[in-house]
Amino acid sequence: MSEDSNENPPVDPPESTEIAPNDTDMNPDEPTEPPNKVGGTSPWTILMAGFIGALIGVIVGAFVTTSIIQQMLPSNLLRTSERPTDTSVEGLTAASGIVIDVAEKVSSSVVNISFMNEGDFSLGGQGSGVIFRSDGYILTNAHVVVDATEIVVTLPGGEDAVGVLLGLDVDNDIAVVKVDRTGLPAATFGTAADLRVGELAVVVGSPFGLDLSVTAGVISALSRNVSASDSNTPLKTLTNLIQTDASINPGNSGGALANHEGKVVGINTLIFTTNGSGQGIGFAITSDHALKLAEEIIETGTTTAPYIGVCISDVDPAESERLGASKGAHITQTLEGSPAEDSDLQADDVITLVDEVAIGGASELIAEVRKHSVDDVLEIDFAREGESLDTTVTLGDKPEDGPVCSNFFNDLLDDDEDGTPDALDNDGIELPPNHP
């Protein structure tokens, strides 16, 4: 509204009203003066001058106050009340431009992966992958291709290429597939170390086989440790995961999680589900960890896995008094031929510290061990029947065909007995024996 519409219309002083002379009251010999005059100025004139002066003062004061506030407040705060009113295609495109830019940049590096088991696609499935080297190297999840007897990679342009599985790491759910192509558009990778909770997250993949589908959300949490299982792989604990609410569904596994710059910061791996589809809680392996494992697979065909050689679970509150600890990683079994056998650790011990880092449960011990390398020496504090003890363990290289822990928890997860877990376990259900 303009200033003019806020002001009262100017009021002219009332004109002097001449009273008709009364012959009986007039004295023509006496001089007459205009009535109601003081010093030559009408009271109406003084009143209006004061009113206009006050109005001008209010306007000037408001202007000066607004200018001071604008100088004091950050410009981005001043813009928060500015709402886009353009609902045209151009306006909506401008509002979502950042997601569009990310999608266009990342989609050229994301592929669809189809695989057959025993020569039959009906026994196989689909997933996604990310081109990370232009000479045909593709990152995906181990659970996507672990049972594949034939792999077909659909490149962004729609061309199909035969994929060869170079190697995989089931514990970390990473695999590398190679296609005989050069000049492919490799993704640009970022680091998860720069991520902040609440920033933009864009997922690109092939949910339910729908190539190059894009969803967007935010980074919901960082450094999540999650234990899960499915029909293709045994129970595993994945550590240091990125959590997002960007929609992830079956088929997105192995696809890209990108930041606002269009850099791939994660490889999508898990969803929390009660019905087989996404519930707004998805997880991705950090690009830093995935690339490190991928390079190791390319060089050696496998990965090294530092391990202690113990089966562990969270501390059962009902057992805490007997065990002598309410938190920690409860050892249920030490594996034959493992580093644990060469240490002072034994079944029913509770590991509470590793190199002065507090261990609150089973997944935390796994995460801490994975931060190290084979042959590193760990200082371990543990509780045994109420007594605090310590020992050292030299990490070994976990053998592929060595002894493993029992896996009773898969049946507990699979309420429908269809071979597919109905939900991931994370914070609230006692974890099964695991294998760090």
Residues annotated as catalytic (active site), given as ranges: 143, 173, 253
The CA-CA-CA angle for residues 36, 41, 43, to 5°, reads 60
Please tell me the distance from the alpha carbon of residue 7 to that of residue 288, in angstroms, as a whole number. 65
Q: Which amino acid is at 319?
A: E
Query: Tell me, what DSSP letter sits at residue 415?
Result: T
Q: How far is CA 219 from CA 130, 189, 202, 255, 409, in A?
A: 20, 16, 9, 16, 29
The full DSSP string for 325-372 is -SSSEEEEEE-TTSGGGGSS--TT-EEEEETTEE--SHHHHHHHHHTS
Strands 236-244 and 256-258: unpaired
β-sheet bridge partners, residue 281:
none
Instruction: Quote the CA–CA distance of 374 and 395 in Å, as a whole number.
Output: 5
Beta bridge partners of 219: 244
Question: Which pairs with CB-CB distance under 8 Å and at least 24 residues apart come from 164-167?
Answer: 166/137, 166/297, 166/298, 166/301, 167/297, 167/298, 167/300, 167/301, 167/302, 167/303
Of the candidates 244, 311, 270, the one whose C-alpha atom is nearest the C-alpha of residue 424 is 270
Residue 433 · residue 312 · CB < 8 Å: yes
Nearest-angstrom CA–CA distance, 411 and 420: 9
